[in-house]
Every structure is written in C-alpha cells, then in structure tokens.
C-alpha cells in the first residue's frame, strides 16, 4: 500500500515474512517432485494449486524485501530437488500430507495476523490464510470423495449439561479413571495421525538421504514416532475408540536422491516443532493427570531430538539465521 514502506517493519513482521519465505521455497521443491510423479488427475490439480500459491508468495516476498532493503533469505532452490527422480510417496499419501500442511499453514498465518501491523503485511498474510483454507477444503473434499478421509472417533451425544463435582475428574494416576473427554479424544487422535504422517515421511527420507549421520537421525525419529503412536493409540483403544491408521504402505521402495539432505533436515525439524506445539496444546486441555503427565514426559524426548537435529543443521551450514536484534554492547565496542 502507498506510504506503508515509510513505516519500519516490526520484529514480528520480519519474522513472519522471513519464515513464510523459507517455508514457501521448501514447498516449491517438494511439490515440484509431487507434481512430476502424481498420476491421479484430481490430486495433480491440488498439487498445482499448492505449487502456484507458493510461487506467488515467493515472488511477492522477493519484491517486498527488495523495496524494504531487507536481505532476501536464501531458502531452498532447484538444487535441493530432482523432480524427475523416482516416485517416493503414493498419491493418497501426498493428498494427506498436503492436508496436514494446510493445517499448519492456517495456524501460522492466523498467528501472524494477530501480531503484524502494517496493512501491506496484513494483506499478505490474509492471502496466505485464504490459500491455506482453500487447500484444506480441496484436500478434505477429495479425500471424502475417495474414501480416504479418516474421521475422528464418534461418541454419544450428551443428554444433559453436567458440572464437575469431584476431584476424581482430574485424577488418573491411582484408582478408577474417568472416561476421556471429547477434547482429550480429539488431541489423542490428532497426535496419532500426525505421528503416523511424520513416520511415513521420515521413512521415505531415510531411504533417499545421502549422509549417514542424517540417516541415523531419521531412523531414531522413526522409532520415536512409532513409540508415541503406540502410547496415544493405547489410550484410545482402552476406551474402545479407534485410532488412525499407519501410512507405512504409502512409501515406495525408491532409494534415488530426490531431496537434498538440507531440505530433508529442514522438513523433519519443522515436523518436530509442530509436534512440540501439539503436545503442549494437548497437555493444557487434558485435565486427567495420567494423560497430562504422559504428554509432559514425551515433550523432553522430542525436544532433545530437535536439539540434535539443530546441531546437524548447524554443523553442515544448513541453518539460516532469522533476523536478530542489534547487539548494543558489540556496537559500543567497535
């Protein structure tokens, strides 16, 4: 908008725009391969939409950064992907993956809209949010049509409004446990589902990674995802509720290089960060102590795994620094 460039960018605006650029350049790489190998015409249409939106965002941000004299992040380029390499994931899994990405994009852009101020930045994040909502609609509708959409569990409709009367509602360590609430069920279901998607992605990445260090890191991640899936599924099954299916069969047998190790580590780290956030949200909305304690015990495990991933990124020079505040002491010493 006219006159907006005269207003300095806040730290929040810098961080959201910087992060969006990194994410969209990675999305271009990933979806370029998906589009090259997809055979289902309806899935291809959705991939094309996702790829087009990411390219529009990147083009806008490049122009925006130039006008603001802001260094354009390096992000990811066509050197990080070989689109013509053999197919790694089934079209059904790609559809599920894009649906999951739309959920993360909706959350990120909604959060951004709550902290940015300049009208041109607000308008951009609104555009990102609209695209994310449309992607969610496209993937959900097609999955429902194909019969691949897994709904969360059904429970009985309450016949009256109740209020908590006993401390037993929050107990769960000793004695009889109350039934899970609908909120607790929802988070357990989603955390099984996200771990299943993450496990399949990591399995595929492990097949194509070049560095032995990265391969070992991914193997460890696969084991953690399987462990967490089993824990959350067990909570549901003890209540005679269904747990989401595994996506292991969606990974092809390709071992050819498709994505760079840098891109693989970035995507894996992004999934870990999302997992930490999901667990924190689930813990805060799960009054039953045994369930809340279980989330609390798992967060340090994936936080340590995330730290090890960050160390690999730093060691290989793959971690791009976000914008930082000025070090006043250092400036005074110059």
The overall longest dimension of the chain from CA atoms, in Å, is 72
Q: Measure Cα distances from 7 to 3, 47, 118, 127, 246 in Å.
A: 8, 36, 8, 21, 49
CB atoms inside a 10 Å sphere around CB 230 = 12
Q: Give the pTM.
A: 0.91
| pLDDT given at position 287 | 86
Q: Minimal CA–CA distance to 252: which of 17, 30, 91?
A: 91
Query: Tens digit of pLDDT for each residue in 280-303?
Result: 999 998 888 889 899 999 999 999
SS3 81: strand
β-bridge mates for residue 81, sequence order: 259
SS3 297: helix
Provide the residue ranges of all domains of the chain, joining segments of one domain with +: 9-146, 178-315
Residue 3 pLDDT greater than 60, yes or no: no
- Confidence at 249, pLDDT banded by 50, 70, 90: confident
Domain 9-146: CATH superfamily, name plus number: Ferritin, core subunit, four-helix bundle (1.20.1260.10)
Greater pLDDT, 184 or 168: 184
Q: Minimal CA–CA distance to 193: which of 166, 164, 216, 225?
A: 225
SS3 272: helix
Are the CB atoms for 211 and 265 separated by under 8 Å?
no
| pLDDT given at position 245 | 81
Mean pLDDT of the chain: 92
Fold match, 9-146 / 178-315: yes
Are the CB atoms for 145 and 40 separated by under 8 Å?
no
Are the CB atoms for 264 and 203 separated by under 8 Å?
no
Those residues with Cβ within 8 angstroms of residue 316's Cβ, 6 or more apart along the chain or in another chain: 211, 261, 262, 265
β-bridge mates for residue 89, sequence order: 251
Those residues with Cβ within 8 angstroms of residue 81's Cβ, 6 or more apart along the chain or in another chain: 29, 30, 32, 33, 258, 259, 260, 263
Q: Minimal CA–CA distance to 1: which of 109, 110, 122?
A: 122
Across residues 4-27, what is the average pLDDT?
92
Query: Tens digit of pLDDT for each residue in 169-190?
Result: 666 555 578 889 999 999 999 9
Across residues 127-149, what is the average pLDDT?
97
Those residues with Cβ within 8 angstroms of residue 205's Cβ, 6 or more apart along the chain or in another chain: 218, 259, 264, 267, 268
Are the CB atoms for 125 and 116 separated by under 8 Å?
yes
For residue 48, how far is the Cα from the chain centroid? 20
Q: What is the CATH number of domain 178-315?
A: 1.20.1260.10
Q: How far apart, in whole angstroms, are the C-alpha atoms of residue 301 and residue 81?
A: 31
End-to-end CA distance of the chain: 38
| pLDDT given at position 1 | 43
| pLDDT given at position 175 | 58
């Amino acid at each position: 908008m006219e006159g907006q460039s005269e207003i300095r960018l806040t730290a929040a605006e810098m961080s959201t725009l910087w992060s969006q650029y990194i994410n969209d350049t990675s999305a271009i790489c990933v979806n370029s391969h998906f589009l090259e190998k997809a055979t289902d015409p309806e899935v291809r249409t959705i991939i094309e939409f996702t790829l087009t939106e990411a390219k529009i965002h990147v083009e806008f941000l490049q122009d925006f950064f130039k006008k603001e004299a802001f260094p354009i992040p390096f992000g990811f380029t066509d050197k990080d992907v070989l689109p013509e390499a053999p197919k790694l994931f089934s079209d059904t899994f790609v559809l599920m993956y894009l649906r999951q990405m739309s959920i993360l994009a909706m959350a990120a852009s909604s959060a951004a809209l709550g902290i940015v101020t300049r009208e041109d930045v607000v308008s951009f994040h609104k555009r990102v949010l609209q695209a994310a909502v449309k992607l969610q609609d496209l993937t959900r509708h097609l999955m429902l049509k194909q019969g691949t959409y897994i709904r969360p569990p059904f429970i009985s409709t309450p016949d009256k409004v109740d209020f908590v009367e006993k401390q037993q509602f929050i107990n769960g360590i000793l004695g009889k446990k109350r039934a899970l609430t609908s909120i607790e069920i929802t988070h357990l279901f989603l955390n099984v589902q996200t771990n299943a998607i993450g496990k399949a992605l990591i399995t595929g990445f492990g097949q194509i990674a070049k560095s032995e260090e990265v391969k070992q890191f991914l193997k460890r991640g696969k084991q953690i995802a399987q462990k967490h899936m089993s824990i959350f599924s067990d909570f549901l099954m003890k209540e005679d509720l269904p747990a989401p299916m595994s996506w292991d069969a969606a990974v092809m047998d390709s071992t050819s290089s498709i994505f760079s190790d840098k891109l693989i580590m970035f995507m894996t780290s992004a999934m870990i960060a999302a997992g930490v956030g999901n667990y924190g949200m689930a813990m805060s909305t799960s009054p039953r102590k045994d369930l809340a304690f279980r989330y609390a015990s798992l967060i340090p495990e994936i936080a340590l795994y995330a730290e090890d991933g960050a160390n690999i990124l730093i060691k290989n020079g793959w971690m791009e620094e976000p914008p930082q505040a000025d070090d006043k002491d250092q400036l005074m010493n110059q």
